[in-house]
Amino acid sequence: MFEPSIYFSPNQKQQGAATLLVATLLLVVALVITLASYKGVFFQAKRVQNEIEARQLHWKGEGRLECVLAKLVDVSSNDPNSVSYNDCDQPTNIQITRQGSSNLYTVESNENGYQVAKVLRIPGAGTLGAITSTADLFMIGSFDIKPQPVQLISTPDLYSCVAVKYSKNIYLNATSNLQTTIPTSPDFPSTTRCASSYQTSISNPSSVLKLSEENNQLDEDGTQLLSENNFKGDFYYDSDLDPFEDLFGVPKSELSSVKKEFTVITGGFCSGSVCPCDSNIASAIEQNKSLIWVDGTCDFGHATQTLSKDTSAGIIVVVQNGLLGSTGSVPFNGVLYHLNTAFTPSLSLWSNMAESSWVASYYTASMQSSGIPVPSLFMTGAKVPDGVLIVDTPGSLAMIYASMDVAYDGKKINHALSKLYKPKWLKGSWHDF
């Protein structure tokens, strides 16, 4: 039987091929879109993962930095590099770098290339020198002053230095000796030296030498004062000198808030060998007090009680509104600060002090007639605190008669200050990258 064959026209074949091509193209486009979508999703997922890891590293880094601060506060240290941070997360990732000779330290956490950094401010005094005085200062005897290095002049370790910082007159008695020697403060390298323009050296002058306020070879009345040529740049004049703010970092208007942090004791005059100020300070030291505030006159006498106590780390003793005297070395380290805010010294008050015969001998009639003010401080002996002696008694005289070593020691000063103020982060110093 005859069966008819199926016949496709050329047009039908072309239509089928076109349909197949269109379908294929649509499938390819769909596949491309799908792959592109998956790539975007993968990219977004990877980005989220990276952000999570970055935030984790950020918070771990910040945690390490806060751990450093907590440890410093806990141990009351002013030297971040001397503290163990083994209790902190991965302490090997912590790096602490001092910024020059300042009290600022950069604290960094670095993990997998992610760094978090802050700047830490450690409690510390400003420029004080070995002696700071707003009173007239009269020095009799032999003085070996180990100054405060201030600013690096040239490498490796040549500095400008401050031996005495002052705002009134300084006198060096005839036949006295004064040498500014090598700085010994342990917060500087042992190789530290003062430039020659900051090394005063005076031996046996034939008459009293006077440094009249600003070292400009002129007396207060404008007459020539060539004796000032004997003093070099380590005797630093500051017409706006404020030792209270230099030491505590706040103005005197906040004195009461600073005083509240101290153990307050009474002073008094010596009776024979019994000196209440000496024994009261010794008692406070024995109770581990490192911030001691004496109300009224303080007559140390020979300071035999304080001598037996350990103050090697450094303490602060403030004597406010009274006379200050000693007939022997002042045997503690840190800061001795004589502060008069509402007190006027008189010779009649000195008659009650153990130092009365010394004052009568050395505060002469000619000094009185020349307008040199009445002493508020008289010290004799071989030593004042390693740290700084501050005489903040404007309108009076501070007299030191001795063969004495006077040494600036920033570490002892700042150790005592660390009991008063805690380390804190410097505002605006946050960096993470």
What is the rounded CA–CA span in Å between residue 165 and residue 126? Answer: 11
pLDDT value for 181: 95
What is the rounded CA–CA span in Å between residue 150 and residue 174? Answer: 30
pLDDT value for 278: 96
Check: CB of residue 162 under 8 Å from CB of residue 236: yes
pLDDT value for 320: 98
Domain limits, the chain: 18-122, 131-418
Predicted TM-score (pTM) of the model is: 0.78
What phi, psi does 348 have (nearest 5°)?
A: -65, -35
Check: CB of residue 283 under 8 Å from CB of residue 290: no
Tokens for 44, please give them. Answer: 């977004």
Check: CB of residue 348 under 8 Å from CB of residue 322: no
Buried (b) or exposed (e) across 195-204, using 16+ Cβ within 10 A?
beebbbebee
pLDDT in tens, the chain (433 residues): 455 555 545 555 566 667 777 777 777 776 777 666 666 666 666 676 667 776 777 777 788 888 988 888 777 667 788 788 888 878 778 888 877 656 788 988 887 777 888 888 777 788 999 999 999 999 999 999 999 999 999 988 999 999 999 999 999 999 999 999 999 999 888 999 999 999 999 999 999 999 987 666 555 555 556 778 899 999 999 999 999 999 998 899 999 999 999 999 999 999 998 999 999 999 999 999 999 999 999 999 999 999 889 899 999 999 999 999 999 888 789 999 999 999 999 999 999 999 999 999 999 999 999 999 999 999 998 878 899 999 999 999 999 998 888 999 999 998 889 888 878 887 776 665 5
pLDDT value for 17: 67
DSSP, residue by residue, 64-115: HHHHHHHHHHHHT-S-GGGS--TTSSSGGGEEEEE-TTSSEEEEEEEETTEE
**Residue 98, beta-bridge partner list:** 105
- Alpha-carbon distance values, 288 to 187, 216, 263, 284, 285 (Å): 24, 46, 11, 7, 5
What is the rounded CA–CA span in Å between residue 408 and residue 403? Answer: 17
pLDDT value for 397: 98
pLDDT value for 95: 85
pLDDT value for 206: 94
**Residue 154, beta-bridge partner list:** 158
Q: What are the residue ranges of helices labelled H in 181-254?
A: 243-248
Q: Find out whether the peptide bond into 156 is cis, omega within 30 degrees of 0.
A: yes
What is the rounded CA–CA span in Å between residue 84 and residue 71? Answer: 8
Q: Tokens 């990877």 identify what position?
A: 46
Check: CB of residue 177 under 8 Å from CB of residue 203: yes
Check: CB of residue 387 under 8 Å from CB of residue 125: no
What is the rounded CA–CA span in Å between residue 92 and residue 116? Answer: 14
